[in-house]
Amino acid sequence: MPEGDTIFRAAATLHRALHGQVVTRFVSVYPALTRVDTDSSVAGRTVDGVESRGKHLLMRFSGDLILRTHMRMNGSWHIYRPGERWQRPREDMRIVVATAAFEAVAFRVSDAEFHTSASLGRDVRFQSLGPDLLANSFSIDEGRASLRAAPHSTIAEALLDQRVMAGIGNVFKSEVLFEARVAPSASIDSLDDETLTRIVRLAQRQLRRNVGDDARSGRRTTGRLNPHERVFVYGRAGDPCYVCGTPIVLVKDGKDARLTYYCPGCQR
């Protein structure tokens, strides 16, 4: 599933291409979206902006219409020039927002709905999101307090809970906990404030490091230039830890069997 850095970059790319442009065509395979378009045409509206909130992407149109999408496991947004060949099959298309200059195409985005500002404000799933690690307003103290409010969760569970902090998925969960030298099974109430502060600061730093233009060449958490050493532990089960040489371990947690990679030597 795309994590907060991926959604942030997608929103920034869409915003640069579409902001201030008039929609010339809107197409979707989803009846709920086409019904809104039929009743209140998207074509003719101006794209007021595109932004991310955690793993959600919001495309705002004039006239108080908001398209909220969530990419889930396999979704993605692409930008094309008119007439440019798509890089994904036509049958993967779910939404098209076209302007005179660009076509924004959502491929295999399974979670999409229109909102007004009022209805988005009533949406429990959206409004229950925790502080967004990539938001300019995010504070380390707020993130630590949000973690502390889930004392009986393990730190790995809490980092994945979008109601605690928005934007972290399996990759950053594993990478942040390794860099913090904290075992994923540690409970929140077993960790002191200094450790929680370090975890939050590392999470913010790692996500922010991966939203710039240089992140297009691949996600990095180690800061190493070697392309084979981009990450500390994620996807490296059985490989030696870069720090202590202990083989990296993979565990699957919870009903969704979420993947966690860690070093038993460094993360005791």
Which sequence spans correspond to the domains of the chain?
A: 4-127, 140-262
184 catalytic per annotation: no
Tokens 């999409």 belong to residue: 112
Structural contact between residues 104 and 98, judged by C-beta atoms closer than 8 angstroms: yes
Given 3, 157, 175, 179, the catalytic residue: 3
Neighbours of 247 (CB within 10 A): 13
pTM: predicted TM-score of the whole model, two decimal places: 0.87
Q: Stretch 248-255: mean pLDDT, rounded?
A: 86
pLDDT at 229 over 90: no
55 catalytic per annotation: yes
Convert the pLDDT of each residue in 106-145 to its tens digit. Answer: 999 999 999 999 999 999 888 899 999 999 999 999 999 9
In this prediction, residue 184 carries a pLDDT of 96
Domain 4-127 classification at class level: alpha beta
140-262 has CATH 1.10.3720.10 classification: no
Question: What is the Cα–Cα distance from 110 to 238, expressed in whole angstroms?
Answer: 34
Q: Stretch 163-186: mean pLDDT, rounded?
A: 96
- Helix %, strand %, coil % for the chain, to 5? 35, 25, 45
In this prediction, residue 215 carries a pLDDT of 54
pLDDT at 216 over 70: no
Task: Enter the DSSP assignment of 101.
Answer: S
Of the segments 134-148, 209-223, 248-262, which one has the largest average pLDDT value? 134-148
Given 2, 9, 45, 60, the catalytic residue: 2
In this prediction, residue 82 carries a pLDDT of 94
3 catalytic per annotation: yes
Domains 4-127 and 140-262 share a fold: no
Given 55, 68, 94, 220, the catalytic residue: 55
* DSSP assignment of 16-64: HHHTTPBP-EEEES-HHHHHHHHHS-STT-BEEEEEEETTEEEEEETTT
Given 148, 163, 208, 258, the catalytic residue: 258
